[in-house]
Chain A
Amino acid sequence: MATETRTVVETLAQLTLFADLTRPQLEEVAHTVGEELFAEGQRVLRQGMQGGGLFLILDGEAEVVIDGDKRARLGRGEFFGEIAALTGDAPTADVVAMTLLRCLTVSGPELEQFLLDHPPVMLRMLKAEARRVRSANA
Chain B
Amino acid sequence: MKARERPYPPGSYDVVVVGSGPGGLQTAYYLARSGIRRFAVLSRDDEPGGMFRRFPVFQRLISWTKPQAPVERGSREYEWYDHNSLLGEEPDHRSLMPSFMDRSFDVPAREEMEAALRAFVERTALQIRYDCTLARARRDEHELVLETSDGEYRCRVAVFALGVTEAWLPPLPGIDHARHYVDTGRPSDYDGKRVIIIGKRNSGFELAQGLLPWAKQLTLISPRPVQTAVLALSALRVRYLQPYDEYVRGGSGTYVLDAAIERIERLEGGFRVHVEGTTWTGKLELDGDEVIVATGFRTPLEPLAELEIATVADGRIPAQTPFWESISAPGVYFAGNATQGSSGMKKHGAAANSTSVNGFRYNARALVQHISAKHFGIDPPRPTLRRDDVVRFLLGELARAPELWIQKGYLARAVRFDSDGIHDDGIVPLAHFVDAAGPNAAAAAVEVDADGKIVPVLYVRRDGHVDEHPLAPHPLHAFDNAEQEAELASRLQPLLG
Contacts and interface: CB of A to CB of B under 8 A. Distances in A.
Contact of B311 (A1, A23, A28, A107): A1
B320 to A, nearest CB: 9
Interface in B328-346: 328, 343, 345-346
Interface of A: 1, 4, 7-8, 23-25, 27-28, 30-32, 34-39, 42-43, 46, 48-53, 88, 100, 102, 105, 107-110
Given A27-B260, A31-B223, A37-B319, A51 B279 contact: no
B321 A39 contact: yes
Nearest to B170: A7
B260 A38 contact: no
A34 B452 CA distance: 19
Interface string B305-328: 000101111110001010000011
A37 B315 CA distance: 11
Contacts of B277: 24
Contact of A48 (B223, B259, B313, B468): B468
A36 B347 contact: no
A30 B265 CA distance: 24
Nearest to A107: B349
Given A28-B278, A39-B321, A108-B450, A51 B314 contact: no
B343 A36 contact: yes
Given A7-B314, A100-B310, A23 B260 contact: yes
B426 interface: no
A100 B434 CA distance: 20
A50 B348 CA distance: 8
Interface string B416-436: 000000000000000000110
B438 to A, nearest CB: 15
Interface of A is mostly: mixed
B468 A49 contact: yes
Nearest to A108: B348
Given A23-B276, A28-B223, A28-B278, 20 more contacts: A1-B310, A4-B311, A7-B171, A23-B260, A24-B223, A24-B259, A34-B346, A35-B313, A37-B319, A38-B327, A42-B321, A43-B434, A46-B434, A49-B468, A50-B348, A51-B348, A51-B450, A52-B347, A53-B346, A107-B346
Contact of B470 (A1, A34, A50, A102): A50
A109 B450 contact: yes
B179 interface: no
B258 interface: yes
Nearest to A43: B435
A100 B222 contact: no
Nearest to B321: A39
B462 interface: no
Contacts of A38: 327
Contact of A36 (B312, B348, B434): B312
Interface in B186-212: none
Contacts of A49: 347, 434, 468
Contact of A28 (B258, B312, B346, B468): B258
B467 interface: yes
A50 B278 contact: no
A38 B224 CA distance: 26
Contacts of A109: 348-349, 450, 452
B315 A4 contact: yes
A37 B312 CA distance: 7
B228 to A, nearest CB: 14
A88 to B, nearest CB: 7
Contact of A42 (B276, B435, B470): B435
Nearest to A68: B465
A37 B308 contact: no
A52 to B, nearest CB: 8
B327 A100 contact: yes
Nearest to B345: A51
B464 to A, nearest CB: 10
A32 B223 CA distance: 9
A111 B311 CA distance: 25
5 contacts: A30-B223, A38-B327, A51-B409, A100-B327, A109-B349
Contacts of B321: 39, 42
Given A24-B277, A43-B435, A49-B468, A32 B349 contact: no
A3 to B, nearest CB: 9
B347 A50 contact: yes
Given A24-B223, A50-B470, A8 B278 contact: no
A88 B450 contact: yes
Contacts of B276: 23-24
Contacts of A102: 312
Nearest to A35: B312
Interface string B424-456: 000000000011000000000001011010000
Nearest to B295: A31
Contacts of A27: 223, 260, 278
Contact of A24 (B278, B343, B345, B347): B278
A110 B312 CA distance: 20
Contacts of B434: 43, 46, 49
Q: 10 closest A-B pairs (Cβ-Cβ)?
A: A107-B349, A51-B347, A24-B260, A37-B319, A31-B224, A39-B327, A28-B278, A27-B223, A27-B260, A28-B223
A50 B319 CA distance: 24
A111 B138 CA distance: 42
A28 B435 contact: no
Contacts of A37: 310-312, 319, 327
A53 B277 CA distance: 28
Nearest to B309: A1
